[in-house]
Amino acid sequence: MSNKICIVIGASHAGVTLGLQLRKEGWEGAIKLVGAENEMPYHRPPLSKEHLAGDKELDAMRLRPAKVFEDNGIELLLGSTALELDRANKVVHLDDGETLHYDKLAICTGSLVKTLPFDSEYANIFYIRTGSDVAKLKEQVQVGKKVLIIGAGYIGLEVAAVLRTQGLEVTVIEMADRILKRVTSEQMSQYMTELHCSHGVEIKTATQIKDITGDGAIESVYCDDGIQYLVDFVVVGIGVSPNVCLAKQAGLEINEGILVDEFSCTSDPDIFAAGDCTRHPSSIYDRLIRLESVQ
């Protein structure tokens, strides 16, 4: 057994896969997987679908059973956030005060939801990124409530579909001239619009928020087309940004994501990165790309 240590920051899909593959490929040293959530790693796509609908609990969404990590000698440090990366001394400082030494390090910090600039002023604005986000949203679900969803991408439309089946009045607004514009064709956008509308979802494209009123909680939303929406709560799904906070603090090269080469190596030869936080070369497009959704 080697005395070398690999630290993996981020316990979602990329981090878990990297840790297990590293062991499979013959790494004999320690592997420590650091995750900010106090949960065993789980799949995120079902959060806005089966999990929100109540059809699938987190335990049914685990990336791997606990025994898989035990059998592969991967130590899970859950509920811990990496605050600082000291490349000169090869240590990572966690928010609980623990300091971890590494020989090799992988940053798999994923992405952060894009937020509204005024979201801290209102208690009834919700985002979906974690299981705890969904738990908070579920507390608001009640037949007849009015919800405004900002953003007609995957998250917004998935949430719209679930909440509509649960008896809520659902309106989706999108600033682009059609839904799912970034990811699909005009024909598919039209089909999905008609499908959602046939189930009672109101969809407004080419529409932006002009003003919001409410004391501590949003009560009305005014859009640039002159329409006022009375709401009980708002769900926001306007995209994500790569979580480069740790990489930026450490001085790694960043350009719309952590820059990595074809081997997922960063500008530091002992630090690698994978997943949503990276911008990597694509042999298909012959340029650097960043994936923002499951492909």
Residue 6 has pLDDT above 70, yes or no: yes
pLDDT of residue 293: 63
Q: Are residues 120 and 107 in the same domain?
A: no
Does 214 reside within a domain? yes
Q: Are residues 253 and 188 in the same domain?
A: no
Q: Are residues 197 and 95 in the same domain?
A: no
Does 294 reside within a domain? no
Residue numbers of the domain that contains 74? 5-112+241-289
For 107-123, the pLDDT digits (tens) are 999 999 999 888 788 99
Task: Identify the CA nearest to 116 among candidates 153, 163, 160, 150.
Answer: 150
User: Which of 194, 209, 236 is a domain's end point?
Assistant: 236
Task: Please list, in sequence order, all residues whose beta carbon lies within 8 angstroms of the beta carbon of residue 188, skipping any fewer than 6 positions away.
Answer: 180
pLDDT of residue 294: 58
Does 80 reside within a domain? yes
pLDDT of residue 225: 92
Please state the domain count of the chain: 2
pLDDT band for 4, please (50, 70, 90 cuts): very high
pLDDT band for 231, please (50, 70, 90 cuts): very high
Task: Please list, in sequence order, all residues whose beta carbon lies within 8 angstroms of the beta carbon of residue 74, skipping any fewer than 6 positions away.
Answer: 19, 20, 23, 31, 32, 33
Residue pair 188/180 in contact by the 8 Å Cβ criterion: yes
Does 184 reside within a domain? yes
pLDDT of residue 8: 99
Q: Are residues 119 and 231 in the same domain?
A: yes
Q: How many helices (H) and strands (E) does the chain have?
A: 7, 21
Residue 28 has pLDDT above 90, yes or no: yes
Q: Are residues 126 and 229 in the same domain?
A: yes
For 35-87, the pLDDT digits (tens) are 999 999 999 999 999 999 999 999 999 999 999 999 999 999 999 999 999 99
Q: Are residues 168 and 275 in the same domain?
A: no
Using a 10 angstrom Cβ sphere, with 0-12 exposed, 13-18 middle and 19 or more buried, the burial of residue 175 is middle
Averaged confidence pLDDT in the chain: 96
**Helices 186-198 and 154-165, axial angle in degrees (round to 10):** 20
Does 194 reside within a domain? yes
Q: Are residues 182 and 150 in the same domain?
A: yes
Q: Are residues 212 and 160 in the same domain?
A: yes
User: Which of 220, 236, 252 is a domain's end point?
Assistant: 236
Task: Please list, in sequence order, all residues whose beta carbon lies within 8 angstroms of the beta carbon of residue 249, skipping any fewer than 6 positions away.
Answer: 84, 85
Task: Identify the CA nearest to 256 among candidates 272, 279, 240.
Answer: 279
pLDDT of residue 139: 97
Q: What is the mean pLDDT of residues 274-292?
A: 90
pLDDT of residue 117: 86
pLDDT of residue 295: 47
For 234-257, the pLDDT digits (tens) are 999 999 999 999 999 999 999 999
For 154-211, the pLDDT digits (tens) are 999 999 999 999 999 999 999 999 999 999 999 999 999 999 999 999 999 999 999 9
Q: What is the mean pLDDT of residues 91-96?
A: 97
User: Which of 203, 219, 236 is a domain's end point?
Assistant: 236
Is the whole model's pTM more than 0.85, yes or no? Answer: yes
Task: Please list, in sequence order, all residues whose beta carbon lies within 8 angstroms of the beta carbon of residue 103, skipping any fewer than 6 positions away.
Answer: 4, 5, 6, 29, 90, 270
Q: Are residues 32 and 91 in the same domain?
A: yes
Does 295 reside within a domain? no
Provide the CATH number for the domain around residue 97.
Answer: 3.50.50.60
Q: Are residues 34 and 68 in the same domain?
A: yes
Q: Are residues 101 and 35 in the same domain?
A: yes
Q: Are residues 79 and 38 in the same domain?
A: yes
